[in-house]
């Protein structure tokens, strides 16, 4: 492993940008002019444009004690692409802006951008610009993602109807359990640096935390099955919080069946080990980046053989409330206990 360290001030801002972006490919015909000018030029040839922005702040959204910079670069792209897919759109371009302190060398930033490049290549998006600045403390990442969608094919949160089925892709709770594990190992290390982290047999939950994926495959599957969701969003704050967003925006209530919530066996084992309830982790844990959507009951038969999609409940009239139906057939109010970036620390 190279120990070479190049100070950023040797390159200057434009030299740094040239160095970090020199190997990026262009994947989309809609990218007319990319990095290197005062602004990028894109043309979506009659399609509608979808735009989203995310901010990731060191110490709030990630911890560099256990987050490799390459993984962080990859994840910073993916979390934005997930929002584009949640609109039933295809991501095409991103901009990437960084503010960093002088503790970051050129080699560290190149490692971060290596992860960015891997994500751009995997999802076929173009890096078309951004900005860099100094930061008094830590690393701040701002990513804007741009996508395209055929006219009137985008999907909002506010268009579900009573009786629609509630569906989720993949499984839930793994990223939260990965975070729980990494925070535990961090505290052990801080107390005794001689003790090596114990991550044996925890690849799944650690991977879901450090290197999530955007569900491009689910959008492609829904198109193949000729299913157009009636509402949709991605699960970034936790199922409980995000299903309440759908209910609020659509002015409806809901019923979620505990036994239908998809939880991976590795997540169940980790939850047991940590003394946690796996269902609570799935309901309240964030950063799964799965898709939460509603669909017409008439489309249910198209779903019966799809292992990557689970029907977990249905939308109902707002007067019926927002309830979880437990395995014991009891009703509990669903409350927003997922991730809140502005919550005060205990």
pLDDT digit string (tens) for 219-277?
999 999 999 999 999 999 999 999 999 999 999 999 999 999 999 999 999 999 999 99
Contact 194, 274 (CB under 8 A): no
Reading the block at residue 218, the tokens are 């689910």
CATH number of 165-333: 3.90.650.10
Looking at the predicted structure, is the pLDDT value of residue 346 above 50?
A: no
Domain ranges of the chain: 8-149, 165-333
Please provide the DSSP assignment of 22-74 as one string.
TT-----TTEEE-BTBSS-EE--TTPEEEEEEEEEEBTTTB-TTT--HHHHHH
For residues 132 and 94, what is the distance between their CA atoms, to the nearest angstrom? Answer: 15
pLDDT of residue 17: 76
Pairing of strands 322-325, 253-257: parallel
With cut-offs at 50, 70 and 90, classify the pLDDT of residue 14. low
What share of the chain has pLDDT > 70, as a percent? 96
Torsion, Cα 83 86 88 93, to 10 degrees, reads 10
Continuous H helices in the chain: 12-21, 69-85, 106-123, 174-191, 203-210, 216-224, 239-250, 265-274, 278-284
Pick the range with the lowest mean pLDDT from 28-32, 53-57, 280-284.
Answer: 28-32
Answer whether residue 342 shows pLDDT above 70. no
Q: For residue 199, what pLDDT is reported?
A: 81
- The answer to whether residue 344 scores a pLDDT higher than 60 is no
Q: Look up the CATH number of domain 8-149.
A: 3.30.1330.10
In this prediction, residues 54-83 reach a mean pLDDT of: 96
- Whether 148 has a pLDDT exceeding 80, the answer reads yes
Cα separation of 199 and 270, whole Å? 11
Q: Across the chain, what does the average pLDDT equal?
A: 92
pLDDT of 44 reads 87
**Residue 64 neighbours by CB distance under 10 Å:** 15
Q: Which tens digits make up the pLDDT trace of 303-317?
A: 888 999 999 999 999
CA distance 20 to 23: 8
SS3 322: strand
pTM of the predicted structure, to 2 decimals = 0.91
């Amino acid at each position: 492993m190279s120990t070479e360290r190049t100070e950023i001030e040797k390159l200057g801002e434009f030299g740094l940008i040239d160095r970090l972006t020199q190997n990026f490919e262009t994947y989309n015909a809609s990218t007319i002019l990319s990095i290197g000018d005062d602004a990028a030029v894109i043309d979506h040839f009659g399609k509608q444009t979808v735009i989203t922005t995310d901010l990731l702040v060191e110490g709030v959204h990630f911890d560099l004690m256990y987050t490799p910079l390459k993984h962080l670069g990859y994840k910073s792209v993916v979390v934005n692409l997930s929002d584009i897919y949640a609109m039933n759109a295809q991501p095409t371009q991103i901009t990437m802006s960084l503010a960093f302190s002088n503790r970051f060398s050129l080699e560290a930033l190149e490692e971060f951008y290596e992860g960015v490049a891997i994500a751009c290549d995997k999802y076929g998006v173009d890096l078309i610009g951004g900005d860099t600045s100094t930061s008094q403390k830590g690393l701040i990442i701002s990513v804007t993602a741009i996508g395209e969608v055929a006219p009137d094919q985008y999907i909002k949160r506010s268009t579900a109807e009573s009786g629609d089925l509630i569906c989720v892709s993949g499984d839930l709770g793994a990223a939260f359990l990965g975070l729980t594990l990494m925070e535990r190992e961090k505290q052990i290390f801080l107390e005794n640096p001689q003790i090596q982290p114990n991550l044996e047999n925890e690849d799944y939950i650690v991977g879901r935390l450090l290197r999530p994926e955007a569900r491009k495959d689910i959008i492609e599957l829904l198109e193949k099955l000729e299913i157009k969701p009636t509402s949709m969003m991605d699960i970034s704050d936790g199922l409980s919080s995000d299903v309440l967003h759908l209910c609020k925006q659509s002015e409806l209530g809901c019923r979620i069946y505990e036994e239908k919530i998809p939880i991976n066996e590795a997540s169940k084992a980790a939850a047991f080990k940590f003394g946690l309830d796996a269902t609570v982790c799935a309901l309240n844990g964030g950063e799964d980046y799965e898709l939460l959507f509603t669909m017409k009951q008439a489309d249910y038969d198209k779903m019966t053989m799809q292992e990557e999609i689970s029907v977990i409940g249905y939308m109902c009239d707002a007067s019926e409330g927002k309830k979880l139906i437990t395995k014991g057939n009891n009703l509990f109010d669903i409350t927003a206990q997922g991730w809140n970036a502005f919550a005060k620390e205990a």
